[in-house]
């Protein structure tokens, strides 16, 4: 997993509340277990018109947001089902951080497991960032160590984050990577357990 330290990137505004995971990545794109190639399904129903053509009003279809890497949105982002494909699709599109007043719990957790930093700011702070995001080329700087989001005018907004999640994301560790940090201790325990209770491992030896 790619570590997250400090990221400066183009911000894309999605001015909608209660964006659920079925809108982030519709069910027909869940057949794969690969984390790549999902950008085509990201916000698919909003990106397309009924005739299948692209909706020019949706931000992902606008050239100005082609290289956006920070998503700015509203309350309860990522609600709905627990599909991990939602952060996969966002990451495949190039988003490294999502900023909102609140997130659905499971989506919030899944972001950390996939190298995306979900930032919770106050509603009025998010509103201030939306005003700035209307300007073409608007960039934000998200600093994980300082726990700040800095606007183009220099205003810094501070966010809270669990220390363990912060450390893991900063080092690029998902749950498996965190466990592997203790690989030698795990191996030592398994060796000791085999010696103390060999009958527990008889089926494994066959």
Q: Is residue 128 located within the same domain as residue 186?
A: no
Same domain, 129 and 185: no
User: Are residues 32 and 76 located together in one domain of the fold?
Assistant: yes
pLDDT tens-digit map of 172-184: 887 666 666 666 7
Closest CA to 19 of 79, 67, 108, 95: 79
Distance between first and last Cα of the chain: 36
Q: Do 156 and 203 lie in a common domain?
A: no
What average pLDDT is seen over the chain? 91
- Considering the domain architecture, whether residues 93 and 188 belong to the same structural domain is answered as no
CA separation for the pair 57, 168 (Å, rounded): 37
Same domain, 128 and 205: no
Torsion of CA 71, 13, 127, 162, to 10 degrees: -10
Same-domain pairing of 191 and 114: no
Mean per-residue pLDDT, 116-142: 95
Q: 140 and 190 share a domain?
A: no
Is 137 within the bounds of a domain?
A: yes
The whole-angstrom separation of Cα 159 and Cα 147 is 5
Radius of gyration of the chain (CA): 20
- Whether residue 145 sits in one domain with residue 49: yes
Is there a single domain that holds both residue 10 and residue 72? yes
Q: Show the domain range for 186.
A: 174-206
pTM: 0.86
Q: What is the pLDDT at residue 191?
A: 74
Q: What is the domain count for the chain?
A: 2
Asked whether residue 66 is domain-assigned, the answer is: yes
Q: Is residue 24 one of the residues assigned to a domain? A: yes
Least confident of 26-40, 58-72, 171-185: 171-185
Q: Give burial (CB, 10 Å; 0-12/13-18/19+) of 173.
A: buried
The pLDDT value given to residue 175: 66
Give the CATH number for residue 92.
Answer: 3.20.19.10
Residue 164 φ/ψ region, left for φ over 0, alpha for ψ in the -120 to 50 degree band, beta for the rest: alpha
**Average pLDDT over every residue of 12-25:** 96
Alpha helix positions (H), 15-61: 21-24, 44-47
- How is the chain split among helix, strand and coil, in percent rounded to 5? 40, 15, 40
The verdict on 193 and 116 lying in the same domain is: no
Contact (Cβ atoms closer than 8 angstroms) between residue 40 and residue 92: no
Given CA atoms 108, 135, 16, 92 in this order, what sign does their dihedral have? negative
The answer to whether residues 182 and 156 belong to one domain is no
Give dist(CA 124, CA 99) in Å, integer: 13
Query: What is the helix (H) or strand (E) element at residue 19, kind and residue range?
Result: none
């Amino acid at each position: 997993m790619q570590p997250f330290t400090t990221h400066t990137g183009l911000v894309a505004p999605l001015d909608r509340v209660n964006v659920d995971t079925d809108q982030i990545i519709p069910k027909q794109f869940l057949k794969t277990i690969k984390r790549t190639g999902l950008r085509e399904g990201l916000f698919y129903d909003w990106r397309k018109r009924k005739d299948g053509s692209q909706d020019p009003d949706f931000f992902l279809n606008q050239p100005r947001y082609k290289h956006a890497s920070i998503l700015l949105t509203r309350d309860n982002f990522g609600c709905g089902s627990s599909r991990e494909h939602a952060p996969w699709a966002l990451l495949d599109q190039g988003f490294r951080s999502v900023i909102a007043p609140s997130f659905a719990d499971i989506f919030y957790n899944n972001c950390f497991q996939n190298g995306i930093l979900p930032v919770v700011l106050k509603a009025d702070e998010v509103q201030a960032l939306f005003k700035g995001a209307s300007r073409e080329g608007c960039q934000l700087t998200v600093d994980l160590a300082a726990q700040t989001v800095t606007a183009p005018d220099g205003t810094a907004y501070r966010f809270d984050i669990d220390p363990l999640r912060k450390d893991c994301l900063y080092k690029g560790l998902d749950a498996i990577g965190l466990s592997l940090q203790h690989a030698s201790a795990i191996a030592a325990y398994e060796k000791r357990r085999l010696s103390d209770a060999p009958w527990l491992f008889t089926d494994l030896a066959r």
